[in-house]
Amino acid sequence: MSLLKVGNLKAEVEGNEILKGINLEVKPGEIHAIMGPNGSGKSTLSKVIAGHPDYELTSGELEFNINGKMQDISELEAYERARDGIFLGFQYPIEVPGVTNIGFMRESFNALCEHQGAELMGEEEFRDFVKTKLPALNMSEEFLDRAVNEGFSGGEKKKNEILQMLIMNPRLALLDETDSGLDIDALKTVADGVNSMKSKFNAFVLVTHYQRLLDYIQPDFVHVLYKGKIIKSGGKELALELEKKGYDWLIEESKQ
Amino acid sequence: MSITEQVEKDFSTLESSKENLGLFLQKGLPTKKNELWKYTNLERFWQEFDLSKQQKADLNAIEKDENFNHIFFVNGAFLPAQSDLEVQSGATELTSLKHELKELLANESVFHLVESQTQNQYLLTLEGVQEKPVLIHNFYTSEHAKHSSAHLHVLAKANSETTIIESHTSEDTAESFINNAVSFLVENNARLSFIKTQELGEQSVQVQNTRALVKRDGQFESFTVDAGAKLSRNNISIRLDGEGANCAAHGLYVLGDTQQSDTNSFIHHNRPHTESSQLYKGIMNDKSHGIFTGLIRVEKDAQLINSDQLNKNLLLSKGAHAHSRPQLEIYADDVKCAHGSTTGQMSDEELFYFESRGVPRERAQKLLAQAFAYDVVLKIKNKTAREYAQQVLKKNFKNLKVE
Ligand SMILES: Nc1ncnc2c1ncn2[C@@H]1O[C@H](COP(=O)(O)OP(=O)(O)OP(=O)(O)O)[C@@H](O)[C@H]1O
Ligand SMILES: [Mg+2]
């Protein structure tokens, strides 16, 4: 049974076609890595799956497993997709002045509770819950009371994305370059966060430029995206090969 | 009948000061030709009101929150029996105070009109440190009030310290034209914080003149929270008249439908070593219109001045608009002045961030609008008063239908 199914998907933004026929199937328990040169459409793909309103699906399928059935999610709003278990870790996390980090997370968490018909969590109880997640990420409580991402360093922003992911506990996590800009210790911390959440019920799609992350998180599949198409898929050895040889040979190969 | 003719006729039945009435009749209502009234056509709103009706009414059930000292006004008239503090009425006690406040610019014809009504002239005298904020309730009924005019004078004696909240509410159906004034004399080393919250019904119009004269080492703070009324005009004029005097003038307008809020602030640095700070924020939805005009004047001998002014507007719909006119007039040379304004929409990327976390767009818009407003309210130092203002905002954000 699959969790996410993307079939011959085409998408455009402001009239420019960016995704030109993507096929991708993700099953529960799997980890997929998406690599590819700058501007190839990796972030676009993750935003399209998460439901960013600027991107228009022009053709193809986008299905997600909801209540045990594959359902077309292309018409669902982003917030509905999030409530159904899709999480997007942003390549460039947004700063939100005037909204505290903990307030933002409680709002998100309670949105899920509401959707699942569970009781909403009060401020204190929620703070205690979030505090249990902080040590593993090496974050201090001070981050909870600051405005969302405001003045956070690049690495702190990425860790904050992982914290949000752990709190939302999604079935599908799309992590867009969560490893970029992290020092070695932080990279391990982030990887530990992913590994601690991994189960046979959920799946991860990791967008990355570096084989390094994949030393810590073992991918089942590696895909190479180029000019809006997946030009090659393979196992984790593909990432090692790319690290050595770059993308040119693949791009040549795909032209033939 | 022209407006001036109408005023002359209606006011002939009321107790009035001939001198001020004469000044009003001479000038008439401000028109668009007056730069300070460029965006607000008072005449258009005026005609809908019958000025002859200004009657006393009583309040029925009153609930008093113990955290405040309460003062009640209905349709501009003081209710002594229900109030905790005494307010003197009648023009006689006020003669010397009025004379001192003459220093303040008061050449607006709407102000002459307030002054021409001699019956609703009040004086509140404050001494010492007031632990509880004073909560002044101004309530306007639909049955009795068409036109309401009152002038409250506040004398903050030397070394006194007070927070005043002045709330304006009305029955939903009230069609009131409220033209009022609040004048402050802040004596040496006194501190006064004045928070005006305006939640009038959607058929009401208010023109409020807030004036303050601040003496040596005195501190005056004005906060305006404007949420109701179809038109609300705030004329704020503060003169820093002694060394070490400082003031803040902050405001927030939260508008929807076709509401209009027009703020005109004038900060006058008349002595050296004075400071002022202003932050006005507007949140406009639907077809509403927010206007801010702010003038800072620094006199020639007023050196070592610190002054800043910022106006920020958030437009929530395509039909909403904002006008912002920060102005400086500086005749001294050792002056630090910063001013600016921004107008923008809510960031789509911020909204998407919320949405990607399961929060519907409408809810996200509300939260972001609240966040935008929050830092103005945080400037209210008194906790009780701050919480009061927050409640007012919260209530009005509930009504804010965002696109
Ligand atoms: N809103 C937009 N308007 C116009 N072009 C866009 C827009 N968003 C993305 N693009 C274009 O789509 C292409 C793919 O962008 P995308 O961000 O998906 O690339 P990426 O693979 O994530 O790159 P990187 O590795 O640099 O993060 C780029 O050429 C980009 O300029
Ligand atoms: Mg990208």
Number of compact structural domains in chain B: 1
pLDDT at residue B49 in the model: 63
How far, in Å, from the CA of B353 to the mean position of ligand 2?
16
In CATH, the number for domain A4-255 is 3.40.50.300
Residue with tokens 């909560």: B135
Burial class from Cβ neighbours inside 10 Å (0-12, 13-18, 19+) for residue B13 reads: exposed
Domain ranges within chain A, ordered by starting residue: 4-255
Predicted local confidence at residue A1, as pLDDT: 86
Mean residue pLDDT of chain B comes to 90
Residue B336 CA: distances (Å) to CA of B48, B249, B279, B305: 45, 17, 16, 6
Query: What average pLDDT does the segment B204-215 reach?
Result: 95
Is the predicted pLDDT of residue B130 greater than 50, yes or no?
Answer: yes
Task: Say yes or no to pLDDT of B403 above 50.
Answer: no
Judge whether B366 lies within some domain.
no
CA–CA separation, A43 and A216 (whole Å): 22
User: A229 at the B interface (CB within 8 A)?
Assistant: no
Candidates A54, A83, A148; nearest CB to B358: A83
**Residue among B353, B358, B372 whose CB faces A94 most closely:** B353
With a cut of 60, say whether residue B319 has pLDDT above it: yes
Residue B304 and residue B273 in contact, taking contact as beta carbons nearer than 8 Å: yes
Best mutation site among A44, A79, A94 for testing chain B: the one with the most B CBs within 10 Å?
A79
Q: What is the mean pLDDT of residues B318-326?
A: 95
Instruction: Note the ipTM here.
Output: 0.97
Task: Decide if pLDDT at B396 tops 50.
Answer: yes
**B305-329: average pLDDT:** 95
Mean pLDDT of B365-379: 89
Nearest one of A230, A166, A233 to A202, comparing CA atoms: A166
Give the whole-angstrom CA distance, residue A207 versus residue A211.
11
Q: Are B282 and B253 in contact (CB under 8 A)?
A: yes
Ligand 1: which residues within 6 Å by Cβ? A 13-14, 16, 18, 36, 38-44, 54, 91
In a domain, residue B375? The reply is no
Ligand nearest to the CA of A18: 1
Specify the pLDDT at position B341.
Answer: 94
Give the closest of B348, B350, B361 to A96, CB-based. Answer: B350
| A153-195 confidence digits (pLDDT tens) | 999 999 999 999 999 999 999 999 999 989 999 999 999 999 9
CA distance A31 to A220: 5
Q: Which long-range contacts (CB under 8 A, 24 or more apart) does B1-6 make?
A: B3/B28, B3/B29, B3/B43, B3/B46, B3/B47, B4/B28, B6/B51
- Confidence bin at B47 (pLDDT 50/70/90): low
Residue A56 is predicted with a pLDDT of: 95
Q: Which atom of ligand 1 is nearest to the CA of A18?
A: 12
Measured torsion, CA atoms of residues B145, B205, B318, B362, in degrees rounded to the nearest 10: -50
This prediction has a pTM of 0.83
Nearest alpha-carbon partner for B157 in B218, B83, B199, B70: B218
Report, as an integer, the average pLDDT of B105-116. 82
- Residues B282, B290: Cα–Cα separation, whole Å: 6
Say if CB B326 and CB B308 are below 8 A apart: no
Q: Convert the pLDDT of each residue in A217-232 to its tens digit.
A: 999 999 999 999 999 9
A112-118 mean pLDDT: 95
Predicted local distance difference test score (pLDDT) of residue B53: 60
Asked whether the predicted pLDDT for residue B3 surpasses 80, the reply is: no
Interface test with B, best of A90, A99, A175 (most B CBs within 10 A): A99
Chain B residues in contact with A94 (beta carbon < 8 A) = 347, 349-350, 352-353
A115 touches chain B (CB under 8 A): yes
B260 domain residue, yes or no: yes
Name chain A contacts of B349, Cβ cutoff 8 Å: 94
3-class DSSP state of B88: strand
pLDDT given at position B55: 63
Provide the residue range defining the domain that includes B324: 3-345
Strands (E), B299-400: 305-315, 321-330, 335-345
| Residue numbers of B between 369 and 388 with CB closer than 8 Å to A | 370-372, 374-375
Q: How much helix, strand and coil, in percent to the nearest 5, is found in chain A? A: 40, 30, 30
Q: What is the atom index within ligand 1 of the atom nearest the CA of A40?
A: 21
